[in-house]
Each structure stands twice: as C-alpha cells, then as structure tokens.
Amino acid sequence: MFLTTEQQKMLDGEHGHAIAKLTHLIVKIGEVNGATRLIPIKNAQIAGVSYLTVGEPIFSFFNMLSEDNVKVSVPSWLNPAGMDMKKWKEMGIKNDFAEKQRRIIKQYQEMGIQTTLTCTPYLIGYKPKFGDHLAWSESSAVSIANAYYGARTNREGGPSSLASAIIGFTADYGLHKKENRVPRIVVDVKATINHFSDFSALGYWYGEKFHGIIPYFKSVKNANIDQVKMLGAAMAASGSVAHFHIAKHTPEAEKVDLSHISETVTFDESDKKQIYNHFNQIKERVNLVVIGCPHSSLEDVKLIDSSLGDKSIKEGIKFWVFSSQKLMQNDEAKKLLTNLEEKGVKIFTDTCMVVSPVVRENYKNILTNSAKAAFYLTRDGTNKVTLLSLSEIIEGVSE
C-alpha cells in the first residue's frame, strides 16, 4: 500500500502510540481487501455504543486511546446506546447497566464525537453528499448513505469507524470504488408495496436469497426516505447488502448499465406472503409493540398518532416507539409526545429494541412493522415476533 509522508508518520508512531495502532488497523484492513491507498473521509458514524453489545472490553480500548488523549479529526456521531439516556428507569434498565452506559458515552464525548445516538443521522441534518467518502458503521445507515444519497462507504465495524474518525482516512476498496457499486441482479417488483412493512419484507426476502449482492429494483412506484430506510435496513440485516439501486428513485440508478446483467428475479405476492408467514410467530397474548427500526422520523410519529385517532392502546400491552432525541425536541414533536403518551404510546430516544437489554429480557411476544427488528429479536429463540403493517398493528392493540 502506498502511504503519503504524513500517513507514514502516523503509522510509525510520530503522532503517538494510539494513532499508530489505529492507522495500522486501517492499513491492514485495506491490505486484506486489496486497497493500494488510504483516502480522506468527510465524516464518520460510529457503532459499538450499547453496553449490551460491547461489554467490558470497550473500557480497555478506551484506556489505550485516553493515554494519548486522541480526538476525532472529522465530524463524527454515535449509533444508539442501550437505553434512553433520560428515561432509562422508565424502560426498566438496571442501575449497573446505566452507570456503564454513561461511562461509554462520556468516553466518546471526550474524543469530540457528537452523541447523536441514532441509526438515522440523515434524519437529523447529517445528510451525506453525492460522492462523499465516509466511514459509517450502522448497517441500515450505510445502505441509505450509499443508495439514497450516492455517498460511498463500506460497512465499517465499530473499531474501524472510530479509527477512521480519528485519523481521518479509510482504505480505498469495496464501495468506495465505482466499479464495485454496480448491480448484479435486477428485481422486478410485482407485489403490491404500500406499507413500510412491505418494503421491509421485500428487503428481507432479497437479502436472505442474494447475500451481499447489489440489486437493481424496478417497478417500485414510491420510494421516499422512510420507505427506503425500511427496505435497506432489512436487506442489510438478512443479507449484509450495503448498496442498492431503485429505478427512477436513487441517484445512481439512471447511470447503471443493465446490459451486463444476466439475472432477473421477480418478487411477487407469494414471496411477500412468505416473509409475513415466516414472522408470524405469536400464538399467545402480545406483550409489546416496537416501532422505529431504523429510528422513526417525525413523519412516522405523526402517522402513528393519526392512525390511532381517538383510540388508546389496550391495557396490558406496551407500545414503544424509538426515535432520536434531536427529532423530538421541537414544539411540534413535544405536542405529539404528550398526545401519544395520553393514548398509551411511549417514545424512547437514544436507543432501540435491538441494542437494549430490556426488550429481550422482559417481553416475549412482540409486534413490529420492521423485518430487521424481527430478525434480530428472534435470532436466539427468546422472543416470538409477528410482522404486520402499522395499520394492522394499531387495529389489533387499540380500543
């Protein structure tokens, strides 16, 4: 790998032991993947935040970094934590977990990282620009950055995204290179795709069948950011698909040369039904509804409120919506929060059902409109999950 003079100094330890270790990490990742250089990044989105997922080893890593007092060199923000930082007791988080979670957040803050605590930074003002090179790590955010905005990022791990945030570079391989961003399969969407859960089912179906392969979707009529985030999140969860194209909707789609693609597949009503049947697991009373995987936008929250109308959530069922703190701070959002609380809906921020311990520990039968949430919540066999549209969920749990 060719390194600039400055990059070589970083690797050789002239900027401290921590910088050398982080540079070495990025260089080695690049070498393994055939990269010949490092490229500068515009910003970073860092995973490895919830104490549930990182555990005690994160503190040893922090100790190494704190010895040299390293700071990020590009704008950087955090993925969700394991709890709502303000309403953690209301969620049922234990004191020991809360104390360690706060320690983790503080360490990131001291490195200059913005504690956004969301998987949808693009919804709170951090929209990447076309062609920007990034080091993003949360799987659904990566797919949206690549597909919806035309930025360029691989699916980084927590340590590598943090390393890139600090040194300001990533390795030039994978989706940073134009030739690796072309689709290999055309998906003709014949099924009716209206609800967020339909987009999620489509994404889950594709990812499970065509792991890691970039698709080109055609015949998709609508594709706003809230719909596309559900599609991308499910594909990333079931099949590690980090980029996709939608005809007439995503910025690179019209420039794609489809003549080289030899395989076209169809997603029809039977395929959609198959995914809904797969996540139709609840045989007893529902304990919990979880919405917001990825994090709900303000428009999502408005839809929940309008769909409920004058109804309230039935007694004995909890209805949790997950979003970002920043989205819930304006006057319109606060009014919505008050209104929904009166109807039995709780909105938590900073966290989600996937990275918080309380959902798996305390609730066994869960409804959601997200195939990504369904996938992660059922992986260890602890929870039973049923995937439904938001309207079906509300019809079933309200009165």
Q: How far is CA 56 from CA 59, 62, 71, 152, in A?
A: 6, 11, 22, 32
5-178 and 279-397 have identical folds? yes
Q: What is the pLDDT of residues 102-132, one digit of tens each?
A: 999 999 999 999 999 999 999 999 999 999 9
Kindly state the average pLDDT of the residues 309-314: 96
The verdict on domain 182-277 having CATH code 3.40.1060.10 is yes
Return the amino acid letter for 124.
I
- Cα separation, 3 vs 271, whole angstroms: 48
- Cα separation, 324 vs 333, whole angstroms: 11
Q: In CATH, what is the architecture of 5-178?
A: 2-Layer Sandwich (3.30)
Q: Which residues of 109-129 are buried (b: 16+ CB within 10 A; e: fewer)?
A: eebebbbbbbbbbbbbebebe
Radius of gyration of the chain (CA): 21
Kindly state the average pLDDT of the residues 204-233: 97
Q: Which among 76, 212, 217 has a CA at the least distance from the CA of 148?
A: 217
CATH code of domain 279-397: 3.30.499.10
User: Any residues with CB less than 8 A from the CB of 103 and at least 6 apart, and which?
Assistant: 59
User: What pLDDT is recorded for position 377?
Assistant: 96
Give phi and psi for 290, each to the nearest 5.
-125, 125
Query: Please, which pLDDT band fits residue 5 given cuts at 50, 70 and 90?
Result: very high
Whether the pLDDT of residue 162 is over 90: the answer is: yes
Give domain limits for the chain.
Answer: 5-178, 182-277, 279-397
Q: What are the helix (H) ranges across the chain?
A: 5-12, 17-32, 51-54, 57-67, 88-91, 95-110, 139-147, 158-167, 196-209, 225-239, 269-278, 298-308, 331-342, 357-362, 371-377, 390-397
User: What pLDDT is recorded for position 260?
Assistant: 83
Q: Which residues of 268-278 are buried (b: 16+ CB within 10 A; e: fewer)?
A: eeebbeebbeb
Instruction: Identify the H or E element spanning 320.
Output: strand 318-323
3-state DSSP helix/strand/coil % of the chain, to nearest 5:
45, 15, 40
Q: What is the pLDDT of residues 274-284, one digit of tens each?
A: 999 999 999 98
Q: Which among 41, 48, 224 has a CA at the least distance from the CA of 148?
A: 224
Q: What is the mean pLDDT of the chain?
A: 96
User: What pLDDT is recorded for position 381?
Assistant: 87
Q: What is the pLDDT of residues 84-102, one digit of tens each?
A: 999 999 999 999 999 999 9
